[in-house]
Amino acid sequence: MVADREGGARRTSGRAVTYAVCGAVLLGGCASMPDSGDLRNVESTPRQDTGVRVFAVPPAQDASASEIMQGFLEALTSDDPHYDTARKYLTAQAARGWRPEDSATVLADGPGIMAETPPSGREPTTGRTYVLAGTRVATVDAQQAYAPAHGDFQAKVHLTQDPKSGQWRIDAPPEGVVMGKSDFQRNYTSVDKYYFATHTKAGATGDPVAVADPVFVRSKVDPMTQLVRSLLSGPTNWLGPVVRSSFPTGTALRNGTTGLAPDDENRLTVPLNAKAARVGPARCTEMATQLLFTLRNLAPTLESVDLRGPGGNQLCDLTESRADSVAWHASAQSPDYLYFLDGKHRLIRLPAAGAGTGGTPVPGVFGDGTKEFGSVAVSREEDTAAGVSADGRSLYVAPLSAAAPLEPPVLTSQGPTEGNRLSRPGWDARGDLWVADLNPARPRLYVVPQGTGKPVAVTLPELPGPIRDVRVAADGARVALVVEAKGGKQSLLIGRIEGGDSVSADDDGSDGAGGVEGSGDDSAEAPAVVAPRPVVPDMELVTAMSWAGDSRLVVVGREQGGVGQMRYVQVDGSVLEGPAPAALSRVKAIASAEDDRVPLVAYSEDGIVRLPSGAQWQKVDKDGTAPVYPG
């Protein structure tokens, strides 16, 4: 198979000419295909300029079976809204039963095609069978949810010749659509739709916490209407158990609604069916907030949404400024400071938005140098710090106040060595503190309610190995785990966090002899990590990671046989388009805020370094370690 080729902007005009010259033949190169024989190379459509819309052509009169096959595959990669042209390559019965929206299979290269040879001694029938083959990269399901995939792909496609007209048509098409990676990247875009966390409210305000649910929509086929329909249909199956929607069950766009787009004043009117007509003002405002957060993916300048019921009556409207006060979401929170430990193990802070390198110690016990820390976390309100002692044994929590003394540790590990004790801690939006005990005799994940309650053990699923690092998402609904497997490999998993409603600062935290002092009562209703899934399956060694958005992480690691690299990935395992962070050698830790306007920060062989937008890595503190933003 021939790999997908990049450079679509340089090939756009050639592609248009190809449509005119090749007709129904595969538009990536007009290659001919035999009606029998071995696997042949069939070129995938080159990557296109995202501003160019591509439309397929219907089958030519008296086209051969191979031309029908190629034309159909090309039609799958077009911007035809309902795949009407692709259906013209099918028999009438097959066209009625084919559901292209149900799934998309993404292959590393354009699908290779092999015509099946009839058994020896038999005459060819009026039918033809072709085999699509390739290497899976990903799948997208009926909910538009992306999942990484691997392994060989094969699917049979059968064609038949009408005995009266003599025209070839497909009577057994593949399930859904099948295309190469570059065609997928041209046709689809990743967007976040927003719901509210079931078990988390913002600690300072009590507001609902928005959770991003990434999906893929066809980028040039009325994407805004697609995205609204996806939002109204509810969250994806994986995220569904830990989020809620304010839209009543059955809410949908009014029949016939298409072409949703903001007006000249950046206001979007969304017509809904009768299911949404009887909600109260507060719930309607939450509905509008979900829409506004979601649609800013596609229309960053969107300023307001106007929800309309049957007959056009207004249900409610909401401006962008009001939406941020209705619900809390991480990417809207810009940190005041970057924090790190200096050479004296003091917690240092410097303005997150500034270009300076002169930090100052924080007030209180974390900044006075009386206690040495190895890792730290600062609450999202930036008024409290948590720190693991330099030997990894004890977790301390204290206000960032000069008058606050250092209280006894809230958690102590009995791990045999520094590397087998407590992980770095982290805070969620509710104000709960998360940390893992890496003690091989009794590895556990704990949540400390409000950072001061008795630690509660989190129920974990069966994992491929011990946890080496943990970062809870700000929304408290998901957690990123670096897990060690056989052979020293380390993989990154994302799990959803279920339950934990009864966890509070009053939980009894006594624990018998077993390795952790101050650990929670296993009989309490503890949160549970459920359904962990890989995020970067091609990396065999993940060495550092941090949340870098509502549904995005920055990951440092190494592919099998490769060199160290840094990349942004979505929680669904998809790699975002755009440049990766500039290369940096020997990265030991990475820190990123959910607000993408804040510089990426790393701890490397050069100490603490910072990567401002559009610039190169800059030194901040040559003796510094353990960089963190609030969270």
Average pLDDT over residues 414-436: 95
Q: Which residue has the higher pLDDT, 30 or 264?
A: 264
Cα atoms found within 13 Å of the Cα of residue 190, Cβ hemisphere only: 21
Three-class secondary structure of residue 478 per DSSP: strand
Give per-residue pLDDT as tens, 275-327: 999 899 999 999 999 999 999 999 999 999 999 999 899 999 999 999 989 99
Asked if 327 and 590 touch (Cβ cutoff 8 Å), the reply is no
pTM recorded for the entire structure:
0.87
Tell me the domains of the chain and their CATH numbers.
8-187 (no CATH), 202-328 (no CATH), 336-358+440-628 (2.120.10)
**Which stretch of DSSP H or E encloses residue 224?**
helix 223-233
Closest CA to 525 of 504, 502, 507, 505: 502
Task: Quote the CA–CA distance of 614 and 502 in Å, as a whole number.
Answer: 46
pLDDT value at residue 119 = 61
Closest CA to 436 of 395, 381, 493: 395
Cα atoms found within 13 Å of the Cα of residue 80, Cβ hemisphere only: 21
pLDDT value at residue 205 = 87
What percent of the chain shows pLDDT beyond 90?
Answer: 76
Q: How many Å separate Cα 132 from the centre of its chain?
A: 29
Give per-residue pLDDT as tens, 16-66: 223 333 333 333 333 334 444 444 444 445 444 446 778 889 999 999 999
Average pLDDT over residues 340-349: 94
E strands of 256-356, at which residues? 267-271, 304-308, 314-319, 337-341, 347-351
**Which stretch of DSSP H or E encloses residue 113?**
strand 112-115
Residue 375 neighbours by CB distance under 10 Å: 22
Closest CA to 555 of 463, 477, 621, 480: 480
What DSSP letter does each residue of 397-427 carry, written as one string?
Answer: EEES-TT---PPPSEEE--SSGGGSB---EE
Three-class secondary structure of residue 116 per DSSP: coil
pLDDT value at residue 34 = 43
Triad 613, 188, 137: Cα angle to 5° = 95
Q: What is the mean pLDDT of the chain?
A: 87
Closest CA to 254 of 278, 235, 270: 270
Name the pLDDT band for 631 (thresholds 50, 70, 90).
very high
Closest CA to 212 of 232, 197, 192, 226: 192
> DSSP character for 574?
P
Task: Quote the CA–CA distance of 441 and 330 in Å, as a whole number.
Answer: 36
pLDDT at 520 over 60: no
Task: Quote the CA–CA distance of 153 and 132 in Å, as a whole number.
Answer: 8
Mean pLDDT lowest among 280-284, 550-554, 577-581? 577-581
Name the pLDDT band for 505 (thresholds 50, 70, 90).
very low
Work out whether strand 304-308 and strand 267-271 pair parallel, antiparallel, or are unpaired. parallel
pLDDT value at residue 5 = 28
Task: Quote the CA–CA distance of 243 and 199 in Å, as a whole number.
Answer: 8
- Written as six digits, the tokens of 429 are 């939006």
Task: Quote the CA–CA distance of 91 and 286 in Å, as a whole number.
Answer: 46
Q: Which residue has the higher pLDDT, 237 or 51?
A: 237
Give per-residue pLDDT as tens, 584-602: 889 999 999 999 899 999 9
Asked if 556 and 545 touch (Cβ cutoff 8 Å), the reply is yes
Average pLDDT over residues 196-202: 93
**Which stretch of DSSP H or E encloses residue 19?**
helix 8-22
What percent of the chain shows pLDDT beyond 70?
Answer: 87
Three-class secondary structure of residue 291 per DSSP: helix
Closest CA to 536 of 504, 493, 500, 502: 493
Work out whether strand 104-107 and strand 177-180 pair parallel, antiparallel, or are unpaired. parallel
